[in-house]
Structure 1
Amino acid sequence: MASSAWSIGPAATLPTQIENSVGMKFVLVPAGEFMMGSDESPDSLAKSYPQYERARFLELDDEAPVHKVRITRAFYLGQHHVTVGQFRRFLEASGYKPESETDGTGGYGYNPDYDPAKSVRGDAFEGRNPKYSWRNPGFQQGDDHPVVNVTWNDAVAMSKWLSETEGKTYRLPTEAEWEYSARAGTRTRYYTGDDPQSLLKAANIFDADAQKNWEKWAIYALAGHDGFAFTSPVGSFAPNAFGLYDMHGNAWAWTADWYGEHYYANSPLDDPKGPATGAVRVRRGGSWHTWSFYARSSYRNWNSPDTRYTLVGMRLLREAD
């Protein structure tokens, strides 16, 4: 437990940091309100991202309208992504089998001999293939790296097991809780400011270190080095004002929400939870292979709940008592 605390009303005091049974550290995020989304113009974006086709800036309707959101209760958010070591401890203790293993199709992985041009989708990675999973994304990871190749369903299963084991409520953050936490009081594209180059001090992103393995996308790489060609140990870069690490980059994080392209137009003021139904779940934050444009705090992406990929991991939320 941390020594300092937020005051939540006159009758309750909560520790600012906690650590759970599998070694996951959580930071208290206070209740508050913020402006969610972005209505930045294509002209403004084109000035900062001149290497991108202008058509990309015309496909961001789902980030608008900018709207006020009120987070009415404090919560604990994982200070880092769930790590390889923490996920392994969950599997060993619970007996749960990840989807990449139970359905026999595996995941995706980095193969230096793989040719994206020969893929139907032009994908940067090889898969699905049983040789790839959370255990093997095609590159070396330590126990302190973010676990990847995990599905939304895997994340929900870990949350459920932790809840049952500890008698606390664990879950994925809503899309609003994630963006509120990522912004940490800012209204800029990143919590480091508007300049994409500012990410080099706070994020493991697609830069000169990763670009050497994908020369065809070199124009999208940040001009500089973050020191990592693939995932990095969690907490390797500067945190935001809430004390959260890697909210931009390293691994995309699943959220609880179904994706709704026009949901923002009718989103409730208090604690929005996304559409009641849908086909795909939202992921946020970008990854070690993500171009800076897609790592903005407001950017929304999505996948089916059974997707497992070398860029996608998770960050869990624990509700405050």
Structure 2
Amino acid sequence: MRSSSLIALAMLLPTVASAAGFAAEHPSLAIAPFTAVQAKEHQQQWAKHIGKDLVYTNSIGMKLTLIPPGEFVMGVSEQGTFPQLRQNMLRSDNLLDRVPATSGGLLTEMPGHRVRLTKPFYLGSLEVTVGQFRRFAGETGYKTDAEQGLLYGKPYAGDQPLRTWRNP
């Protein structure tokens, strides 16, 4: 019995050692919740680790920010965010804020679930302007689903013409 315990320990040690080595080789994962200061620290550590800039400007002038690997909750839950959003919608004087939560808007955000990002990536720091999108579409020949006559990936069969970024 004693020798089998030693064999098991000998088999386990390389695994523990390699796991410890992995942790020592990479910055820690950005596990939400964290503060803005902690987020910036994670970004800077990962940018240095992979030898990339924290902010990258692409060929059409868009600024992209490095997002480090980590974990966060994506979506909303009925217990947490959902009731607060619903209250805000009911109190708002802006009709656009009063879109019923049951119309598919908020329901498509449920349930909240844990997401793990396994690699760093760049994400646009600001929204894409129509001018930037026009330049991108012109340079690449990209066509949106609506421009291809599709709605949610299926051929559009409605009475009204489809609206696109070119024809709002």
- Band of TM-score, shorter chain: 0.3 to 0.5
TM-score normalized with structure 1 length: 0.27
Which structure's CA Rg is the greater one?
Answer: 2
TM-score normalized with structure 2 length: 0.45
Larger helix fraction of residues = 2
| Bigger RCO (CA 8 Å, 6+ sep) | 1
